Structure 1
Amino acid sequence: MSSVEQQQHTHHVDKADYLRRLSRIEGQVRGIARMIEEDKYCIDILTQVAAINKALHAVSLRLVEGHIGGCVVEAAQEAQRTENPELVDAKVAEAAQAIGRLLR
């Protein structure tokens, strides 16, 4: 599968929702930069960093769910049609690697 085909597999997600979430996170990051510029209390800054981490984790989990529910399921269906189990094995391995990166 080409990288173009892989990029198009985001059709299982609500792009507008992701863009809204990421825009909100971007605003939070700019807010932290202002807090640092204004010498705000360290604990307040750390609280905002924790909120951003939580928001990014939520986005990541939704993306993983979309990948498994869309790409992996599609690969399983294609594997069944073509009698090629390696298709699903590759998608599962790809998902496992992505999850591993998230956990580091």
Structure 2
Amino acid sequence: MSHDAAFIALADPTRRAVFERLRAGPRRAGDLGAGLPVSRPAVSQHLKVLREAGLVRVERRGRARIYAIEPSGMAALREYFDAMWDAALAAYKEAVEDDDEN
């Protein structure tokens, strides 16, 4: 999974809202869209984009499709942010040490 695809997928506020509802655990598409100002087909399209970005997985249970967060997709995002955070902290440490020397 590319973190670029994940960021693009999560840039849409409705798609992000659908994704955030999965924090509570796996849910059906209809449940994910409940209360959102979009149609069922639109929710399905948002879920498709999230799946293609590697952020969501789907499992069939009878006629129902159950969506859940894809752990490997979240791990890739976390690795990206961890690397950014490590670089930011290293730069901050260097700046503080430079100030202490002056």
TM-score bucket (shorter structure): 0.3 to 0.5
- TM-score, with normalisation over the residues of structure 1? 0.38
More helix by share: 1
Could you tell me the TM-score, scaled by structure 2's length? 0.39
Name the structure with the higher strand share: 2
